[in-house]
Structure 1
Amino acid sequence: MMKTLGRALFSSGLQSPKYTEGDKKQDQDYEIRTYHATNWVSTTLSGMQWDEAMNTGFRKLFSYIQGNNHNKVKVEMTAPVTCRVDPGAGPACESQFTVSFYVPEEHQDNPPEPSDPEVFLENRKEFTAYVRTFGGFSNENLKREELLKLMESLQRDGVQYVDKPFYAAGYDSPFKLMNRRNEVWVLKKEQEQE
């Protein structure tokens, strides 16, 4: 428990999903990453508050990695914690937030089944994302600002992307004070098949 909690709090040596980097132009302020197909453990929440959804989702998933699964197996903490946001249709509509932990390599082929009915295993197919990285302590306003900057950069470069859903990714615990890493992701628009 202490080892997992320590890693979660100080995010040193955490496993992350593998990806291939795309070519980057010199003045480009975002990365292009193609993530390999992998398993994640997730929970979906509805509401209007991004940060609240992240906190609630994190607690449910942390319980899963602490052994609240059918095998009673402790699973190593990984990074990043992602939050897929499916925005509501209007300003006062509820958004859906899917908070996810990457399943570590040793459990990728056979992840423990969750005990909590609100936690589920998700197989993410290979996908390409445009990624903007930023530091500091992230919050809802900062995520929205960085997402807008990313979309403006993509529009400037004439890049086709999917405007929703979008993702936020966090790599650090609340106790890490310096050199923090946060990201926003938007998905590459796939070309229509002829």
Structure 2
Amino acid sequence: MLKAARQALFSSGLQYPEFTAPEKQPEDYQVRTYQAAKWVSTTLSGTSLDEAMRVGFRRLFNYIQGHNHKKAKVEMTAPVTCRVEPGAGPACESRFTVSFFIPKEHRQVPPPPSDPDVFLENREQFTAYVRSYGGFSNETLARDELLKLLESLGRDGVHFAERPYYVAGYDSPFKLLKRTNEVWLLQTQAHT
């Protein structure tokens, strides 16, 4: 437990999902193609991204601490992602799916979750447009960065899905400097 807690608190030595990226990148965002991977996830409904991240993180942290059918400890990974499917209007509930990447040593047969609100998912390969930003992320900052990414993609005439979008965080709340956060929009194919 100490190792997982230390990793969660200090964000060192964590495994990340594999991706490839072209050498030539736009100046204000990146294009990344993530390989197919397994993730452990939980879905919540509500109006607050911050609350969904807090509750979702706690559920998933319990899973990696051994609250699963194998009672197996699972290494902490990064990033913690949150898939956001916005509600129809400003006061409507959104769906938030908070996820941890499954590390290599558990990838073939991840421990089945014992919490009915936690599930395993296979993410197929996907390409995302990624905007990085620092500081302590919150719902307002993530939304501002998403708007900047939308503006950049519009400027460059690329094809993307506006919904859902992802918010990704790489650091523990105890890391004070050089924090890394991201917003992702998924690439779509041009319609002919």
TM-based fold match above 0.5? yes
User: What stretches of structure 1 move > 2 A for 4+ residues in a row?
Assistant: 22-25
| Partner SS, residue 153 of structure 2 | helix
Given residue 14 of structure 1, which amino acid in structure 2 is its aligned partner?
A: L
Given residue 3 of structure 2, which amino acid in structure 1 is its aligned partner?
A: K
Aligned partners of 2:79 and 2:170 also within 8 Å: yes
State the match for 2:188 in structure 1: 189
Deviations 1:118-144 (A, max 9, x none): 000010000000000000010110000
Could you tell me how far 1:23 is from its partner in structure 2? 4.2
C-alpha separation in 2, matches of 1:126 and 1:191:
18
Aligned partners of 2:159 and 2:190 also within 8 Å: no
Q: Which runs of 5+ in 1 are unaligned?
A: none
Could you tell me how far 1:90 is from its partner in structure 2? 1.3
Deviations 1:5-46 (A, max 9, x none): 001000001000000012434x52100000000000000000
Aligned partners of 1:48 and 1:95 also within 8 Å: yes
| Partner SS, residue 9 of structure 2 | helix
C-alpha separation in 2, matches of 1:55 and 1:23:
35
| Partner SS, residue 58 of structure 1 | helix
State the match for 2:139 in structure 1: 140
Could you tell me how far 1:91 is from its partner in structure 2? 1.4
Deviations 1:141-173 (A, max 9, x none): 000000000010000011111000000000000
C-alpha separation in 1, matches of 2:123 and 2:167:
16
Could you tell me how far 1:190 is from its partner in structure 2? 2.5
Given residue 53 of structure 2, which amino acid in structure 1 is its aligned partner?
A: M
State the match for 2:129 in structure 1: 130
Could you tell me how far 1:191 is from its partner in structure 2? 3.9
Q: Aligned residue pairs: how many? A: 192
Aligned partners of 2:82 and 2:96 also within 8 Å: yes
Superposed, which structure 2 residues align to 1:73-152 within 5 Å? 73-152=72-151
| Partner SS, residue 133 of structure 1 | strand
Give the TM-score, by structure 1 length.
0.97
Aligned partners of 2:37 and 2:122 also within 8 Å: yes
| Partner SS, residue 56 of structure 2 | helix
Q: Percent identity?
A: 66
Give the TM-score, by structure 2 length.
0.98
C-alpha separation in 2, matches of 1:17 and 1:191:
26
Out of 183-192 and 113-122, give the one that drifted further: 183-192
Aligned partners of 1:24 and 1:32 also within 8 Å: no
RMSD: 1.1
State the match for 1:62 in structure 2: 61
2:44 pairs with 1:20: no
C-alpha separation in 2, matches of 1:100 and 1:22:
26
Aligned partners of 1:24 and 1:31 also within 8 Å: no
State the match for 1:7 in structure 2: 7
C-alpha separation in 1, matches of 2:24 and 2:48:
34
